[in-house]
Structures are given as structure tokens and as C-alpha cells.
Amino acid sequence: MFDPDRLTRPASPSPDKKLGDDSGPSKPDIQKPEGGNELLKRMKKVDPDQAKRYRQRSGE
Amino acid sequence: MKQILAGVETEYGLLVEGRGAENQIDDAQALVRAYSGPCFVGWDHRYESPRADLRGFTEKALRFDPEDAKFDVGRARSADSEIRSDRVLPNGARLYNDHGHPEYSTPECLSLHELALHDKAGELAILRAARAYSEQSGREVWIYKNNTDFHGASYGTHENYLIPRSLGFEKLYAAVTPMLIARQILCGAGKVGSETGGAARYQLSQRADFFTESASVDTLYRRPVFNTRDEPHANPADWIRLHVIAGDANMMPSCTSRKVGLIKIALELCKRNETPKWDIPDPMRAFRDVSRDEKREYRVELRGKNWTTAYDILDSYLCAYDSVFDEDESDPELRQVVLECRALAEKLRSGADVSHDIDWAAKHALLAQYVDSENVAWDDPSLRSFDLEYCNIDPENGLFAALAEMGSVAPLPSTEELEARLRQVFEPTRALARGLAVSKFGDRLMGASWTSLTFRGGYDPLEVLLPPDREYGSQLEATESVESFIDNIRGA
């Protein structure tokens, strides 16, 4: 059953942790996408300045 | 369990060769008008009330971005309806120009799966309009399904949920706000850098930089985490349309269905008075802190100097849903969302790779590969261009499309599946009636909106309301006249 007392307390696993602690999960082991060379080829076609000239009106 | 009616509206980014933001309204207008698929031209704006607030008052005016006003100096504009150039598609969707952004609003759907397909079909509609406009104008056109221009302007991807009026603002705010903050770890589209506040290398959310209020009716400027617009597009005595503006535009259909599914879980719990209680004193800061946390700890400050994490907030909702709704009672799609989110959150927490299933992680992996191979820094300006091109909806150029081709992300729906969704809606919602009005009786249709349809009659116009909670069956497809179509909708 859902227990609201448990859920409104600071999170486990370390109840002694306070805000500002530097400890945290280690860096995830991200795997690179497969077919990297093909992807890099496509990335190299991207105009590196595209974002610089991309200006938009604000929307909602 | 009766599923919650929902829709997604996406304002697309638009770049036209040789043109700037000062031309954007004209360009978006021309682009929408270049759409050559079957549609009804026009929209009935009578039932719109964007200034009404859920808290019981109406704002005198909505705030506008002062930067945008500079683009309009010395420019005469035509009437709003001309600028918007609304098109209603045979699937019940709305295609129009919203403040210079081509916007596709999906038909209302009950199913998460169908809604995600319609969101993806919207890309196809916008892409076709863009190609037609490019051919007409002789200019290259780029369309981005994202929410920022990296120069301080943002534009939205909004979700809409039809819920009983009896829930009211207080309960909804308490039920939905913690979920909005937490769900970005499983649904964010990812973004290089920051546009407000301190520096950030990479964020989960495209929108986190732009929230300055916890709750308000505004959407264009001084945006809130929780939007209080009270515009139900249905009988206001019975219904609220919860208007969520805090989400990102997703390239992955699985992220679209997950982000909508998580809000539906929060709303189902709210209806049962079983919402987990999280007292978050500063939702803007919490949203931003989670978005920017590259340690993937995702702490959220609570009132009383306590703290929790986005993982625990999500888990509290998932556990509550499991606890409150047994298998017979629950929505199978939401049950699947619970299982999937639990598994993904666990992978994320353990540091495993989630780039196959979450937009922000797929984009991050793509950029990390480039950073490693080219030995560039994360603040290299080119990375923002790659971020942008991840969201390019042209499958020949977009980087997300490249990842999909390579099988690096979950498989995408086929073009045939999307074509079919542009032709009609397969959901028994009022979108079916709206779409059929376009495809069967378009020659007599005078106006369409989320709320009603108006046809030319013998002497006076014939208007029929579209109640959102009734089932629109396939018998509507068999009707042969406008009159029998209207009778059928009215249940005569």
C-alpha cells in the first residue's frame, strides 16, 4: 500500500544526506550509438552556425 | 476505467533561407496555406477564452514578449483569422499559424498509442506544407520540432486533458506540479546550454529556462510551471481542460505517450483523492534544478528544508496507481506506462544507458560521441546546431531520423501508419465527427472548432455541439446528409 509518511520524508538510500552534499550516483555508462561513422558523416554535413542564425519569435 | 481525453499541440520552429524572425508570421502563414492535403479552411473562434483563469478570475490582457514587439515595428498586419490561416484536417486535427509558428494540434484521443501516432503524423503534415512552401518561394525551409531558439525565445508543445470541473485548481495544482517536475527525467527532449540563470552544459528539458511563475494564465511571457488557463472547449459547468505547457516537443513517440501517460496517472489519482503529497515551495527552481543536474541525482527541495528526488516522486505516483487501481479497474495503457517508467527510472538511477528510449539521452549520446571524436568542448557553438538538427523533422537531414535509421532508438511508425492517421482518426472521440464533417460534408461546413460544427442550412446556419464525453461511433460514417449527421450526433 502507498504510505504517505514514507514518501514525504527525504529520500532514501541515505537519510542523513543534507542539501549540498556532493555525493551522487556515478557517471552512467553511456554506450555510443551504433553505426557511429555513418552518423558522424551526417553530423559533418550540419552547418555549425545553424543555431547562431536561428532566431524565433516567442510562442506559447 | 474511462480514459481521459487528451491532445497535443506543437508549435514548430521555422527557419526560411534569407528571412528572419521579423518575417516569421508572414512565412508561417504562407507555409500553412501551402498545405495541399484535404482540409476545411476556417475555424470558429467563438468559444475561446484564453484570459480566463482556473482560480476564478479573468486577466485583462495576456503578457507578450517585448522582444517580439520589436519585430513588428512599422508593420501592418491583416486580420487575425487571415494570419492564422486555420485548416481543419479530415482526422479532426487543426493546422494553423500560431504567432509565427506552424502549429499542429492533434485530434482528441483516448488512447496514448493513437495520440503519439497523431503527434508524429503532424510532423508529416508540417513537412509537406514546408516542402510546398519551399517550392513556391524558391527558398530553403527548415522545420524544427523543438522549443527554443537558443537566443532566449521559446515556443510550446502543450498537452490538453479533459477532466471534471469538480477537481478544481487547488487539487489539480497539488496533483500535477510534482509530476511536471519529475517526469522530465523520463520525457525531456534535452538541450545544450542554458538561456537564463547560470551556465549549464546540458539539460534534460528544453523549457526549464523559461518558467518564472509557479502558476498563471500566461503562456507567451513570464511562463508558469502550472498553467491556469480556463478554456474548456466544452461545457464549462462540467469540464476543465488542463492545459500543460511545461513539456517538451518529443521526437520519440514513446516519449510522447509516456509524458501524457504520467499526467493521466496523476489525474486519475487526483480524481480518487489519492495523490501523493509533495510540498514543493519553489516549483520553478525545482524544475530547473532537475533539468540541470548532470549527476543524475535529481534532488527536489521540499518545504521544511527536506529534500527528495525526482525518482522518488515518480515512484510515489507509480506505487499509488498500482495500489489504488487493481488490474480489472485500471487502464491497460496506464498500467504499461507504470511498468515502463519503473524500469526506465531504475536503469537511469543505476547509470545504465537509456538512449534507446528517452530523447534527452539519445541526443546526449549523439553529442558525446561528437565531443569525443572531434575533441571539442561542450560549450562549442556547433553543439547547439547539432541539438537543433536532432529536431529537424526532414528525415533526409534530421539527426534523430539518422538514429532511427540505424536502430539506435526505438523503431518509428511507418509512413503508411502516419498517412492513415492524416486521413482519419480511429478513435471514437468528437474528432471523428469533426473529421467526417470535413471529408463528407465540407461543401456545407461553415465553421469548425473543438466545441461545435456549423453547417449551411436552408435559412439559418445549423450548429451542432460536440460533447466531449460521448462515444462517436462508426454509424456517423454511414450518414448521407448533413441533417442525418447532425441528428446522429445529437442522439436523435
Q: Which residues of A touch B403 (CB under 8 A)?
A: 33, 39
B133: Cβ contacts below 8 Å, ≥ 6 apart: B27, B30, B31, B34, B141
Q: Cβ distance B155 to B11 under 8 Å?
A: yes
Q: Do B351 and A28 touch (CB under 8 A)?
A: yes
At residue B49, the pLDDT reads 86
A-chain residues near B279 (CB < 8 A): 8
Separation of alpha carbons B406 and B218, rounded Å = 41
* Interface residue B392 vs chain A (CB under 8 A): no
Please give the backbone phi and psi of residue B94, each rounded to the nearest 5 degrees, phi first.
-120, 130
- CB contacts < 8 A (A, B): 193
How high is the ipTM of this complex?
A: 0.94
Which of B274, B353, B387 comes nearest A28 by C-beta?
A: B353
The C-alpha cell that represents B39 in the structure block: 482540409
C-alpha span between B445 and B485 (Å, rounded): 12
- Name which of A19, A31, A48 is nearest B307 (Cβ-Cβ): A19
Contacts of B248 in chain A (CB under 8 A): none
Residue B162: partners with Cβ closer than 8 Å, 6 or more residues away = B4, B5, B6, B108, B232, B234, B239, B240, B241, B242, B468, B469
DSSP B461-483: -EEEE--TTS---THHHH--SHH
Interface of B with A in 127-166 (CB under 8 A): 142, 144, 149-151, 153-156, 158
Neighbouring-strand partners of residue B97 = B102
Measure CB to CB from residue B220 to each of A24, A53, A60 and give the nearest one.
A60
CB-CB neighbors (< 8 A) of A55 in chain B? 20-21, 149, 151, 153
A21-38 pLDDT per residue, tens: 445 555 555 554 445 567
Question: A13 to chain B nearest CA, in Å?
Answer: 11
Residue whose C-alpha cell reads 478544481 in the numeric block: B168
Tell me if B385 and A58 make a contact (CB, 8 A cut-off).
no
Asked if B364 and A30 come within 8 Å (Cβ–Cβ), the reply is yes
Grade residue B490 by pLDDT with cuts at 50, 70 and 90: very high
Query: pLDDT tens digit string along B390-408?
Result: 999 999 999 999 999 999 9
Q: pLDDT tens digits, residue range B185-230? A: 999 999 999 999 889 999 999 999 999 999 999 999 889 999 999 9
Residue A13 has pLDDT above 90, yes or no: no
* Chain A residues touching residue B220 (CB < 8 angstroms): 58-60
Helix (H) or strand (E) holding B435: helix B430-441
Given a cut of 60, whether residue B29 has pLDDT beyond it is yes
> Helix, strand or coil for residue B109?
strand
Q: Which has the closest alpha carbon to B87: B472, B483, B451, B442?
A: B442
State pLDDT tens for residues B415-427: 999 999 999 999 9
Distance CA B97, CA B82 (A): 10
Nearest to B101 by CA among B129, B76, B124: B129
DSSP B63: -
How far apart are alpha carbons B224 and B180 in whole angstroms? 11
Task: Name the residues of B annotated as catalytic.
Answer: 98
pLDDT digits (tens, 9 = 90+) for B51-77: 999 999 999 888 888 888 888 887 877
pLDDT higher than threshold 60 for residue A9: no
Sheet holding B6-11, edge to edge: B40-41, B87-88, B94-98, B101-105, B6-11, B157-164, B239-244
Chain A contacts in chain B segment 162-181 (CB below 8 A): none
* Through-space distance between the first and last CA atoms of chain A, rounded to whole angstroms: 40
Q: B486 exposed, middle or buried (CB, 10 Å; 0-12, 13-18, 19+)? A: buried
**What pTM did the predictor assign?**
0.93
Chain B, window 266-285: residues with a beta carbon less than 8 angstroms from a chain A beta carbon: 274, 276-279
- Scanning B34-99, the segments in alpha helix (DSSP H) are 66-71, 80-84
Q: Would you call B373 and A54 a contact, using CB atoms and an 8 Å cutoff? A: no
What's the average model confidence in pLDDT over B106-114?
A: 98
Please identify which residue in the block is written with the cell numbers 502516419: B418
Cβ–Cβ of A46/B14 closer than 8 Å?
no
Q: A14 — contact with chain B (CB < 8 Å)?
A: no
